Amino acid sequence: MYRIGELAVLANISKRTVDYYTNLGLLQPKRSTSNYRYYNECDLEILQMIEQCKLLHMPLCAIKELVETKREAPNADQLLVLTKDVNQRMQQLEQEMSLLASQINSLSEEDQKEIRQKLSVQGTTLLHSLLLLLPYMQEKI
């Protein structure tokens, strides 16, 4: 079990962000008799998932649905809807990246390199998430 500060350090976010997500109901800590909030491993996983979703520019309402689905035992229909949402967002991001590519090419070499490095880090995180979903996606194909 983690206190708010410990969880924030592990998730590499601020305590205020943890508090904000808790107030939104995204995190549901246990309370001690002295009213301290204690978070578990599941809360850490949820925070990591939230951060990945933010990289995909998912709105908080969609993230909240995803978190609620993670807490419940999701049925196939719920997962299918979420999968379609993710596919739609990926297509939108692909279009945005395509538009950005021409603008990036008009920048200086130094600026291009800096942007590509940032995209590489975010892309690696996204690729890791997609690889985790790959076995499930192949079953549907």
DSSP-derived pairing of the beta strands 37-38 and 30-31 = antiparallel
What integer pLDDT is reported at residue 79 of this predicted model? Answer: 74
Per-residue model confidence as pLDDT tens digits over 51-77: 888 888 888 888 888 888 777 766 777
In the chain, where are the structural domains located? 1-57, 73-141
What integer pLDDT is reported at residue 62 of this predicted model? Answer: 85
In DSSP terms, 39 is beta-bridged to 2
- pLDDT tens for the 141 residues of the chain, in order: 999 999 999 999 999 999 999 999 999 999 999 999 999 998 998 999 898 888 888 888 888 888 887 777 667 777 777 778 878 887 887 888 788 888 888 889 998 888 878 777 767 777 667 666 666 555 444
- Considering the entire predicted model, what is its pTM? 0.55
What integer pLDDT is reported at residue 76 of this predicted model? Answer: 76
CA distances from 115 to 15, 55, 96, 99, 123 (A): 29, 15, 15, 14, 12
Count of residues making up the chain: 141
Domain 1-57 sits in CATH at 1.10.1660.10
Q: Phi/psi at 39 (nearest 5 deg)?
A: -105, 150
What integer pLDDT is reported at residue 137 of this predicted model? Answer: 55
What integer pLDDT is reported at residue 82 of this predicted model? Answer: 76
